[in-house]
Amino acid sequence: MAKDLVCGMGVDENKAKAKSDYKGKTYYFCAPGCKKFFDENPEKYLKGEAGAEDCYRGS
């Protein structure tokens, strides 16, 4: 199980609503909104500056 770096939610890689490739690694997200936040500023989330307030679950 992967961790959505935006909201911290556990994400099954096979059922992820969205994913992004960054610097040769694939990241999985609970919703397209979380992917959007990550894509706009991946380094923020890789540094652990995530928060549930950034999540757009269901978007």
Q: What are the sequence ranges of the domains in the chain?
A: 2-53
pLDDT in tens, 3-56: 999 988 999 999 999 999 999 999 999 999 999 999 999 999 998 876 656 665
| CA-only gyration radius of the chain, Å | 10
pTM above 0.75, yes or no: yes
Using H for helix, E for strand and C for coil, what is the string for 1-59?
A: CEECCCCCCEECCCCCCEEEEECCEEEEECCHHHHHHHHHCHHHHHCCCCCHHHCCCCC
Q: Which residue, 3, 8, 11, is CA-closest to 50?
A: 8
| Predicted local distance difference test score (pLDDT) of residue 1 | 95
pLDDT at residue number 58:
47
